[in-house]
């Protein structure tokens, strides 16, 4: 029995956050600058037996199973899993259900501001599609994942997380009035990436947030034409373009200044964006060597993304953990988007020489290697020999 494994990267929203949310996105056009990081949402799928559907989410201590006819009984604990399964049936399997075992896990908690739920939908969608022999491209994958969360389930939010997870890497993304999203991959010099990675820290204070409440407040301000909130969102949209240009030319100090301006504007879009705990952590980080920072995602909690003097990374981390609790960690950027790979029931042992040769030939292409497996990304399929 074939086993499919897949993953989709989480992301940092660098600029433009909130402009991808309706009604702003369709009325004015959204702009997003984002990058994927070395944290992932994983999906593990295989054909079930009989008419059984089984879902597991070990990181949330949840498991459930039901017959295909009783699928609705799993909706409370597994709304995303059920919605993905239904879409795969409708879009790729002619409306015919099939038995499925699907397990998932994510490298970050819900409400982290790293786009974890959307990356999970992308990973589940691509992996379950691969199980039945379908391979949607990155645009189709992202669009369907967006529809599952925003239309099928009615969950508040924008489109940036799905496209970031599907494409991977540094991307500048724009939306058009007809709802079309255009993804522009950015070629950032290696030394610029290295400097950013050396300067970047993520702080998690242990408090996740319900993004829907923050987003609903932002949406209401746009609908009601709140002058200050709308002007702030326009500023965020313009700043995303400025930030992209600074990043492409490698102006890190200018990039940090733009990040700071974007955060200041973001706080004007809703009173829920920041809170006393976030402001305290921000002040502690600034006093210890942070140059600029912002909360990743909708705001109200989750990860604080910080640009620091690389020589003061330890000082910033220790000050935050001592005075605010929580944890500080570095992160690395990734190039690849969502990927699946096929594990035969009896997988041959890895022949080290072959695996090393293939890894060397492919280089850092964001492709996962598995001996004897077929690897499919949203762009291509690879078979690794044994």
202 part of a folded domain: yes
Annotated binding site for ATP: 111-117
CATH number of the domain to which 241 belongs: 3.30.230.120
375 part of a folded domain: no
3-state secondary structure the chain: CCEEEEEEEEEEEEECCCCCCCCHHHHHCCEEEEEEEEEEEEEEEEECCCCEEEEEEHHHCEEEEEEHHHHHHHCCCCHHHHHHHHHHHHHHCCCCCCCEEEEEEECCCCCCCCCHHHHHHHHHHHHHHHHCCCCCCHHHHHHHHHHHHHHHCCCCCCCHHHHHHHHCCEEEEEECCCCCEEEEECCCCHHHHHHHHHHEEEEECCCCCCHHHHHHHHHHHHHCCCHHHHHHHHHHHHHHHHHHHHHHHCCHHHHHHHHHHHHHHHCCCCCCCCCHHHHHHHHHHHHHCEEEEEECCCCCCCEEEEEECHHHHHHHHHHHHHHHCCEEECCCECCCCCEEEEECCCCCCCCHHHHHHHHHHHCCCCCCCCCCCEEEECCCEEECCC
157 part of a folded domain: yes
pTM, two decimals, is 0.87
369 part of a folded domain: no
Annotated binding site: 111-117, 149
One of 59, 161, 226, 257 is an active-site residue; which one?
Answer: 161
Domains in the chain, number: 1
140 part of a folded domain: yes
18 part of a folded domain: yes
360 part of a folded domain: no
- Each residue's pLDDT tens digit in the chain (386 positions)? 679 999 999 999 999 999 999 999 999 999 999 999 999 999 999 999 999 999 999 999 999 999 999 999 999 999 999 999 999 999 999 999 999 999 999 999 877 889 999 999 999 999 999 999 999 999 999 999 999 999 999 998 999 999 999 999 999 999 988 889 999 999 999 999 999 999 999 999 877 655 677 787 778 878 887 889 899 999 999 999 999 999 999 999 999 999 999 999 999 988 888 889 999 999 999 999 999 999 987 666 789 999 999 999 999 999 999 999 999 999 999 999 999 999 877 653 443 343 343 334 334 433 343 333 344 444 433 333 33
Can 107 be counted among the known catalytic residues?
no
133 part of a folded domain: yes
Domain interval for residue 80:
1-339
């Amino acid at each position: 029995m074939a086993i499919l494994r897949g993953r989709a990267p989480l992301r940092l929203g660098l600029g433009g956050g909130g402009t991808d949310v309706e009604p702003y996105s369709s009325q004015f056009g959204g702009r997003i600058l984002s990058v994927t990081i070395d944290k992932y949402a994983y999906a593990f799928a295989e054909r079930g037996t009989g008419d059984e559907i089984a879902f597991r989410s070990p990181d949330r201590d949840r498991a459930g199973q039901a017959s295909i006819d009783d699928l609705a009984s799993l909706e409370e604990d597994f709304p995303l899993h059920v919605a993905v399964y239904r879409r795969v049936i409708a879009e790729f399997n002619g409306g015919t259900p099939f038995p499925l075992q699907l397990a998932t896990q994510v490298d970050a908690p819900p409400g982290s501001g790293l786009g974890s739920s959307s990356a999970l939908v992308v990973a589940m969608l691509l992996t379950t599609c691969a199980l039945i022999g379908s391979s949607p491209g990155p645009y189709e994958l992202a669009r369907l994942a967006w529809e599952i969360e925003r239309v099928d389930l009615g969950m508040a939010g924008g489109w940036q997380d799905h496209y970031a997870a599907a494409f991977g890497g540094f991307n500048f993304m724009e939306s058009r009035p007809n709802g079309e999203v255009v993804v522009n991959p950015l070629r950032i010099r290696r030394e610029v990436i290295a400097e950013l990675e050396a300067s970047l820290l993520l702080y998690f204070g242990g408090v996740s947030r319900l993004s829907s409440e923050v987003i609903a407040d932002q949406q209401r301000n746009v609908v009601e034409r709140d002058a200050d909130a709308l002007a702030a969102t326009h500023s965020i949209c313009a700043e995303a373009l400025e930030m992209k240009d600074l990043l492409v030319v490698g102006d890190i100090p200018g990039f940090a200044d733009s990040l700071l301006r974007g955060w200041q504007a973001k706080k004007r879009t809703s009173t829920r964006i920041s809170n006393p705990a976030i402001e305290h952590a921000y002040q502690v980080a600034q006093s210890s060597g942070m140059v600029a920072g912002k909360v990743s995602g909708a705001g109200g909690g989750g990860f604080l993304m910080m640009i620091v003097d690389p020589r003061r990374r330890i000082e910033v981390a220790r000050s935050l953990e001592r005075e605010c609790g929580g944890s500080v960690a570095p992160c690395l950027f990734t190039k690849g988007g969502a990927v699946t790979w096929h594990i035969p029931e009896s997988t041959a042992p890895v022949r080290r020489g072959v695996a090393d040769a293939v890894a060397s030939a492919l280089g850092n292409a964001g492709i996962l290697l598995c001996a004897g497996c077929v690897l499919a990304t949203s762009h291509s399929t690879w078979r690794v020999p044994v």
